[in-house]
Chain A
Amino acid sequence: MSAITWTRRKRALGRFWDGFRRQRAGVTGLAILVVAVALAVVAPLFIDEGVTSVVENTGPDFAPPSLEYPFGTDESGRSILLMVWWGARTSLLIGFLAALVSMAIGTILGIAAGHFRGWIGAAIMRVTDWFLVLPSLITALVLAAILGGSTFTIIMAIGVTSWPSTARLIRAQTLAVEARPYIERSKALGGGHWHITTRHVLPNVAPLLLASTTLEVASAIVTESTLAFLGVTANKTSWGTMLRGSYDWNAAGQGAWWYILIPGLCILAVVMAFTLCGRALETVLNPRLRGTKA
């Protein structure tokens, strides 16, 4: 890479950051995310799997928030604070990886459908439309239930059912990019399918991809918690499994509001942060939205 390219890239990044910084909601979201991810990453330095063990924790059952248990305890005397902290790892990990799987499938199929016109593109779009119409939560539930619950299968179940909208978005963008003259020039110079899709199309769709990945992580976290609540889990503590526990042990009837409120607020905060970030990215990166009031 020549020095000119790097200077240009650095300048583009600077412009992007300037635009993003002006989105107050987006910056707030980003701040929450950085804190959440940092907390999840450093968790093993302070606590371990033991905080979720029923045997090791001998606190009072359904104890209201106190100095010792800032967020109270659950039905087995485990500290909600520590559980939420430890559970963040599973929730965030599944959210990120499921979004990654979904984005990978969506990008590859979307670019392929836009690049190869004719029957290949048509066939891919047919399959995409079919997946788009399937009720995704129901399909993910069936997939996860049949494959058996493990972290990997939950990630796959969410990823495999949520890619179609990305594929459509990327296909539209690919068509727009390939209509530009420089693609024709590249073809005339002997650029093959691989060269055009990876060197010209992919960098052009990447910004949009970033925005929609961010939004996808948000919905993957919601889906994970819903699957966990409906009993299809990776058998690891996550915010979803905690809420399932609160339902099974009738926390509402016991008046243990903290057991229901805290894990849910964690989901809400992280999902909203991702959504705010994603919307801000969209506003900055999508030329169609640039300069409009919305």
Chain B
Amino acid sequence: MTAPLEAAEPAAAQAAGPAGDDRPARHGVLRYALTKAGGALLSIAMVIIATFFLFRLLPGDPVRNLAQGRNMTPEQLDLERRRLGLDKPLTDQFFDFVGQTLRLDLGTSYEYKRPVLDLIGERLGPTLLLAGVGLFIAVSLGLWQGTRAGWRPGSRFDRFSTATSLVLWSVPTFWLGLLLLMVFGAWLKIFPSRGIESVDAPDGFGYVLDVAWHMVLPCLTLVGVVYAQYLLVMRSSLLDEVGQDYINTARAKGMRDDEVRRRHAVPNALLPTVTLVFMRIGFVVGGAVTVETVFSWPGLGKLFYDAISVPDFTLMQGTFMLITVAVIVMNTLADVVYHILDPRVRSA
């Protein structure tokens, strides 16, 4: 591969800029960050515009399609259309929509009769808790197991890990949830099958334990589906490092095997993996929607699902935009952080 070339680049960059003058580099990072931020803003603008057209211009009548198979009278349909401003000229609708969105006014929910932003604010906490804890466990477990598997390719542990992750990778998230629900919720009755808290939840520390107890199954489902890909990516990026010259050099110096792994191979393999973790954050979000639906977890994903099944047009549009924008922001951050961390990319 192009490894020798890549390795030569930072050396060349250092030779070009002696006397420890790191100003150009830092300047480069800032410019890079600004470019990326500009790109992200453009993407967000595209999301807002696309949302507008998606919800108003697609063939057919969105209100009718959403109401498909549900009991709504023509008067109700008409009322819904007027409430959404669908009877106004399109240009007026567009500027109204963009103006409101920029002022963070996402409209009022049809189902809950409350501002969409308030609803989202209420549901944000449970989602961040579930997705955060799930992501943390998935990343730690995936990186650890991927490292062990990739360091000894072909070993029993490696074969076992690869096989497990292929199975988990093929399992639909919701089905894994249903299985756990059936085994631990319905048969063994060890864990609650729905919600975030018991009806008679105690206060204080007891409440924390109660929530944690409710979180076990949803979290397990999310981790199970998400961590497989981290494992595979970490394994393959470690495999890329194993054959490199610097690893042989480190061995030749007489370092112990796990020291070579810990101090040389893993830090280099970690970089692409961690970026990928953040780049694929959209996948985690999709998983969260499914998991929250299966376990009736009162988070953003459940809110989004409910909006689709009611159907609640404004709520659906608001949650869609918020989730998408959040994913774009996180991807951009990951991009910039990667740029700062990896000298090879920085000098290129």
List chain A positions with a Cβ less than 8 A from chain B.
126, 129-130, 133-139, 141-143, 145-149, 218, 222, 225-226, 229-232, 240, 243, 246-247, 251-253, 255, 257, 260-261, 264, 267-268, 271-272, 275-276, 288, 292-294
Contacts and interface: CB of A to CB of B under 8 A. Distances in A.
B282 A145 contact: no
Contacts of A137: 282-283, 285-286, 289-290
Interface stretch (B100-108, B166-174, B339-347): B166-174
15 contacts: A129-B43, A135-B286, A136-B286, A138-B304, A146-B65, A146-B66, A147-B65, A222-B170, A229-B172, A229-B290, A243-B175, A247-B178, A252-B185, A260-B178, A271-B171
A288 B289 CA distance: 37
B167 A272 contact: yes
Contacts of A218: 170
* Among A135, A136, A148, A246: residue with most chain B CB under 10 A: A135
Nearest to B304: A138
A133 B174 contact: no
Q: Binding site of B, secondary structure by majority: helix, strand, loop or mixed?
A: helix
B239 interface: yes
B60 A145 contact: no
Contacts of B129: none
Given A272-B167, A293-B154, A226 B285 contact: no
Nearest to B59: A147
A226 B283 CA distance: 13
Contacts of B173: 226
B153 interface: yes
B167 A148 contact: no
Contacts of A251: 182
B236 interface: yes
B308 A275 contact: no
B282 A133 contact: yes
B293 interface: yes
A115 B345 CA distance: 26
Contacts of A272: 166-167, 170
Contacts of A139: 320, 324
Given A135-B283, A138-B320, A267-B170, 15 more contacts: A134-B47, A138-B324, A142-B308, A143-B54, A145-B316, A147-B58, A218-B170, A226-B174, A231-B308, A243-B175, A252-B182, A264-B171, A275-B169, A293-B153, A293-B154
Given A147-B58, A231-B308, A264 B170 contact: no
Contacts of B311: 145
Given A229-B172, A272-B166, A134 B308 contact: no
Contacts of A129: 43
Contacts of A149: 68
A55 B285 CA distance: 40
A146 B58 contact: yes
A136 B62 CA distance: 20
Interface string B275-292: 000000011011001100
B186 interface: yes
* Among B178, B289, B323: residue with most chain A CB under 10 A: B178
A267 B282 contact: no
Contact of B282 (A130, A136, A246, A268): A136
B328 interface: yes
Contacts of B174: 225-226, 229-230, 243
Contacts of A147: 58-60, 65
A226 to B, nearest CB: 6
B186 A243 contact: no
Contacts of B231: none
B58 A247 contact: no
Nearest to B40: A133
Interface in B31-78: 42-43, 46-47, 54-55, 58-60, 62, 65-66, 68
A272 B148 CA distance: 24
A10 to B, nearest CB: 33
Given A143-B54, A294-B236, A135 B327 contact: yes
B309 A231 contact: yes
Contacts of A261: 179
A138 B285 contact: yes
A130 B43 CA distance: 6
Nearest to B320: A142
Contacts of B327: 133-135
